[in-house]
Structures are given as structure tokens and as C-alpha cells.
Amino acid sequence: MKQRAFKTLEKRIRYRFKKPALLEAALTHPSFRYENPDAAADNQRLEFLGDAVLGLLAADILMTRNPQAAEGELTKLKSAVTSGSALAAKARLIGLGEHLRLGKGEAASGGADRGSNLEDALEALLGAIWLDGGLKAARKFFENTVFQSAENSEPVIDNPKGMLQEYAQKKGYPVPDYQVLEASGPDHARRYCVEVTVSTYAFRGEGTSRREAEKMAAEKAVKCMIQKD
């Protein structure tokens, strides 16, 4: 990755890495490393760390900003802040996708704007900042880039497939039908595209497993059909 690309992203996130290799790793998708064995690392380990840091910072800030909130309310707020769709949206705002290092197949299939890739990369970036600059730097990045208040968060859908099935039954529609349209990629980075049909409506979702793709398709259906009904 060119140094100019580093500087562009660092300017957007308002953080300059002391160890640029951490930033490069955070932006490296496993598919790129699979095709380029000489690549030092991909972002999976940093994603693991970033996920933990994300939960810690979200809980800490929500506790501070909502001193009267009960545990149940805080849990819902935390789920909204740390949901995959929320993280992917924040990643798009900082243009993270354009900096991802992807394998040729993943890039050709739209991987730079795939929600799961963006979510993983943002978590990896948070983990990289934690390692590079510590708690203070990670918290600043989280507050400036990741955190969103409950007022600006989309409602969390805990069980979209269940909600969709109940809705279909209520309306007298047949049971939602899920079909795998495509399964692609190597074993270490499989991608599934699933379409769910509800009456005359159809919605598609993608994920790293059939189950995840079905959930994403159902979530789209819920948002379009139930929440706007």
C-alpha cells in the first residue's frame, strides 16, 4: 500500500499510526493474503481484538452518558451502536472500502462495499489503533468515528427470520422461502447470496455462511415490509 493512501485514511480518521504495518494489516482481507502468501498478516486477529475493544468502549460510554438507564436499556443501546449494519455504515462514511486490500475474486464481486467486510475492517482498525496508541487513542477514534447515539441508531432486529415468518402467517402468506442463489469463493472465504420470497416480494442477503445470508435477507424484508407496514 502506498504511503499516500495511508495518509489519506489517517487524515479521515484523525489518527496517525506510529506503526504503519498495523494499519496495513487492518486493511488486509484474508482473500488478499491467500492470493499473496508474502503478505505479512490479514485483519482477522485485529478484528478479534477490535471486537472486544468495541464492546468495552461502547459499554463504558453508554454507562457514562445514560446514568439512569437500567441494564436492559443499556444492552439495547449497546446492540444498536455495535450492530453490523451500524459499523458498516460508519466504515462507508470514512471511505474504508476504497482502502481494503482484497483478493481479485473478492474485489470483482463487490467486496469493497460488502457489509461484512466493512464491519470486520472497522473492528480491525479499532484493534490496530488500540495496539498502536493505547486506550486514549482508541477511545477518541471510537467516539469520533464509531459511536452513535440511540436516537440515530436503527432499531436492532434480534430475530428477523422469526419476525418475518410471524408476519407471513398473520397476512396469510405462504411460509417465507429461502433459496441459495450463489455460493462462491475458496473454503476459507466462502460467500453466499440468498433470496427470500414472501408472497410476491423478494429480498436478497449476503454472508459468509448460508445462515448469515438468510438472516440478512430476512432483515431486509422486515425493514421493508413490517416496519413500514
CATH number at residue 124: 1.10.1520.10
Strand partners, 82: none
Which helix H or strand E contains 82, and what residues bound it?
helix 71-82
- Torsions phi, psi of 205, nearest 5? -140, 155
CATH number at residue 202: 3.30.160.20
To the query of whether residue 123 is one of the catalytic residues in this protein, the response is yes
d(CA 91, CA 106): 18
At residue 143, the pLDDT reads 92
Asked whether residue 78 falls in the same domain as residue 126, the answer is yes
At residue 151, the pLDDT reads 44
Domain boundary among 151, 170, 191: 151
Kind of pairing, strands 177-184 and 201-207?
unpaired
From 106, 123, 206, 219, active-site residue: 123
Asked whether residue 75 falls in the same domain as residue 181, the answer is no
At residue 148, the pLDDT reads 64
At residue 223, the pLDDT reads 82
Q: How far is CA 204 from CA 85, 110, 186, 212, in A?
A: 15, 15, 21, 12
Asked whether residue 184 falls in the same domain as residue 210, the answer is yes
Provide the domain limits for residue 187: 160-226
From 24, 47, 51, 106, active-site residue: 51
Query: Letter for the amino acid at 129?
Result: I
Domain boundary among 124, 151, 178: 151
Asked whether residue 15 falls in the same domain as residue 121, the answer is yes
Asked whether residue 29 falls in the same domain as residue 132, the answer is yes
Nearest 5°: CA angle at 12, between 8 and 13? 120
Asked whether residue 171 falls in the same domain as residue 85, the answer is no
Query: Is the whole-model pTM more than 0.75?
Result: no
To the query of whether residue 51 is one of the catalytic residues in this protein, the response is yes
At residue 4, the pLDDT reads 58
Spatial CA neighbour of 85 closest among 122, 55, 52, 112:
122
Domain boundary among 151, 179, 196: 151
Number of domains in the chain: 2
**pLDDT per position in the chain (229 positions), as tens?**
445 567 889 999 999 999 999 999 999 999 999 999 888 899 999 999 999 999 999 999 999 988 888 888 888 888 888 888 889 889 999 999 999 999 998 998 888 999 889 999 999 999 999 999 999 999 999 999 888 644 455 555 668 899 899 999 999 999 999 999 999 887 777 889 999 999 999 999 988 889 988 998 998 898 888 655 5
At residue 227, the pLDDT reads 54
Asked whether residue 11 falls in the same domain as residue 90, the answer is yes
